[in-house]
């Protein structure tokens, strides 16, 4: 069984990612979905009034917990309409969303965290969506970021983007194997060449490292790395971009919000963030 953890905050962004996860679980036949909502009230909130002069009392907290549980059940019902056979668990925690995600991953095997990307409305939509990259940085398991306009498609072709440099340090092979072994995916390895010479030894090492996946190798030149990747993925009609947010990688600055948001905003397909 594959287990997908879906943090939700009842925004359109999070609902879209949850529905994507339900369709993915339908394709997998045997998957568990965990809808996770975090309701954290700091000590100061229980003492000091809000800007609306409302104090967060125990009664208010109890009412909010009930409201959130009802909302989780409602969302669960929507997902069961997509996949009636899905095993769906709802979970409401009283910690911050990041702590809640890490705690859950530490006590239960989770294969994938699925988070919606806000796109251009990062400050207007989901707090989870605007912090997707922070979650991926802290998460010990892969994170799938679903752009707001990404509809579910069977994953048949994936783009693995790297700069062919220090590949031994860059590619998390075990995480990559875990993903590719469960799906019949055509892997395309892409190098966007910004004018730098590709080291022959590194190139040969990469070929040997990935030989079990029988990938095809592609080279392209584009002054904007993100646009180059997105353009290539669109031309190839890929259903997934695999990014490697690690030091020395093609995405060594991916965890900087400005760059990461570019990728998830401009990408028309989901982006999988892999780490060891």
Q: What is the pLDDT of residue 27?
A: 78
Of the pLDDT bands very low, low, confident and very high (cuts 50, 70, 90), residue 47 is low
What is the tens place of the pLDDT at every residue in 201-251? Answer: 667 777 888 888 889 998 888 777 778 888 899 999 999 998 765 543 444
Of 74-78, 103-107, 139-143, which gets the smallest average pLDDT? Answer: 139-143
List of domains in the chain: 2-146 (3.40.50.620), 157-273 (3.40.50.620)
Q: Residue 259 and residue 243: Cα distance in Å, rounded?
A: 12
Q: What is the pLDDT of residue 247?
A: 42
143-146 vs 271-273, strand pairing mode? antiparallel
Using CA atoms in the order 173, 6, 18, 183, what is the torsion angle rounded to 10 degrees? 20
Q: What is the pLDDT of residue 264?
A: 55
CA angle (141 as vertex; 136, 142 as ends), nearest 5: 65
What is the tens place of the pLDDT at every residue in 4-19? Answer: 999 999 988 899 999 9
Question: CB-based contacts of 211: which residues, under 8 Å, 6+ apart?
Answer: none
């Amino acid at each position: 069984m594959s287990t997908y953890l879906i943090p939700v905050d009842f925004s359109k962004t999070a609902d879209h990612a949850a529905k994507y996860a339900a369709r993915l679980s339908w394709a997998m036949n045997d998957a568990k979905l965990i809808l996770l909502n975090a309701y954290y009230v700091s000590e100061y909130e229980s003492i000091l009034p809000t800007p609306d002069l409302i104090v967060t009392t125990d009664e208010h907290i109890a009412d909010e917990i009930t409201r959130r549980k009802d909302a989780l059940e409602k969302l669960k019902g929507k997902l069961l309409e997509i996949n009636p056979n899905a095993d769906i668990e709802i979970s409401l925690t009283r910690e911050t969303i990041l702590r809640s995600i890490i705690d859950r991953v530490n006590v239960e095997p989770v294969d994938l965290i699925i988070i919606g990307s806000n796109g251009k409305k990062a400050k207007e939509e989901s707090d989870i969506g605007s912090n997707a990259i922070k979650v991926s940085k802290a998460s010990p398991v892969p994170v799938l970021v679903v752009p707001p306009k990404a509809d579910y498609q069977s994953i048949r072709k994936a783009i693995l983007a790297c700069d062919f440099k220090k590949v031994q340090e860059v590619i998390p092979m075990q995480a990559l194997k875990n993903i590719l072994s469960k799906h019949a995916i055509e892997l395309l390895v892409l190098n966007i060449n910004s004018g730098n010479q590709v080291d022959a030894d590194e190139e040969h090492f990469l070929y040997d490292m990935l030989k079990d996946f029988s990938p095809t190798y592609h080279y392209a030149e584009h002054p904007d790395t993100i646009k180059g990747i997105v353009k290539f993925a669109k031309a190839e009609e890929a259903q997934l971009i695999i990014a490697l947010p690690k030091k020395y990688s093609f995405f060594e600055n991916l965890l900087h919000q400005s760059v990461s948001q570019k990728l998830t905003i401009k990408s028309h397909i989901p982006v999988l963030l892999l780490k060891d």
